[in-house]
Amino acid sequence: DIQVTQSPSSLSASVGDRVTITCRASQHIANYLNWYQQKPGKAPKLLIFASSRFYGAVPSRFSATGSGTDFTLTITNLHPEDFATYYCQQSFNTLLTFGQGTRLEIK
Amino acid sequence: QLQLQESGPGLVKPSETLSLTCAVSGGSFSSGTSYWGWIRQPPGKGLEWIGSLHHSGSTYNTPSLKSRVTIFVDTSKNLFSLNLTSVTAADTAVYFCARQHSAYDRFFDSWGQGTLVIVSS
């Protein structure tokens, strides 16, 4: 299986801050990397697919990049509604795997 | 607007079979390129993909659950189902059904609200 490792596992930040979450795949996955946001008690919500493509009405303060094994999700000018848990997911092959998640908390 | 709704028992005894159904409405289920998937999340933990299927019946699932998983479809009722046999406490989780965009774009773009299944005697 392709493993995806997220870092950090948790992150404290303030409204207005800029944060970056990293996802590293255990092998080359081209741009087959997706990002989700999950709030407590809710289903995950797709934010980014194919490494950097927005899905739906994602605010422009979100950006994502990466290819191969290393990927990042950056949020600038954090809004209160951005505090959530973020997951990456690789879709390079049919054995889909998620990262362990990054919990973004208000400082 | 596409909606997915999970249903099934909230409590299952150890060694028994967990059976869940996902009803799909508001969109095309038995035509097109979409796949349909099951993902679970143990309390306080991360997401684990279980398996995906196409309305044609083509399926694939995670080897970590080996032969315990069956995913099948009922196109006449616009629903798909999950059976997980020989459950243990480790199978306690919120189970989500979701639409997988396509066979090659294997991301999940629409999700059900999730249903908590507790394995306990």
Peptide bond into B43 cis (omega under 30): no
C-alpha distances out from residue B9 to B18, B74, B98, B112, B116, Å: 8, 19, 19, 16, 9
Residues of chain A whose beta carbon is less than 8 angstroms from a beta carbon of chain B are 1, 32, 34, 36, 38, 42-46, 49-50, 55, 87, 89, 91, 94-101
Q: What number is the average pLDDT over the span A65-74?
A: 98
User: What is the band of A37 on the pLDDT scale with cuts at 50, 70, 90?
Assistant: very high
B114/A43 touch (CB, cutoff 8 Å), yes or no: yes
Q: Going edge to edge, which strands form the sheet with A4-7?
A: A4-7, A19-25, A70-75, A62-67
Q: What number is the average pLDDT over the span A46-69?
A: 97
Predicted confidence at residue A101, as pLDDT, reads 98
Q: What number is the average pLDDT over the span A73-82?
A: 97
Predicted confidence at residue B8, as pLDDT, reads 96
Closest approach of chain A CAs to the CA of B58, in angstroms?
A: 12
Secondary structure letter of residue B55 according to DSSP: T
Predicted confidence at residue A74, as pLDDT, reads 98
B111/A34 touch (CB, cutoff 8 Å), yes or no: no
| % of chain A beyond a pLDDT of 90 | 100
Cβ–Cβ < 8 Å for B34, B92: no
Chain B residues 45-64 with a CB less than 8 Å from chain A: 46-49, 52, 60, 62-64
Q: Name the β-bridge partners of A5.
A: A24
Q: pLDDT tens, B16-41? A: 999 999 999 988 777 778 999 999 99
Please determine, for residue A106, whether its predicted confidence score (pLDDT) is greater than 80.
yes
User: What is the band of B66 on the pLDDT scale with cuts at 50, 70, 90?
Assistant: confident
Predicted confidence at residue B33, as pLDDT, reads 87
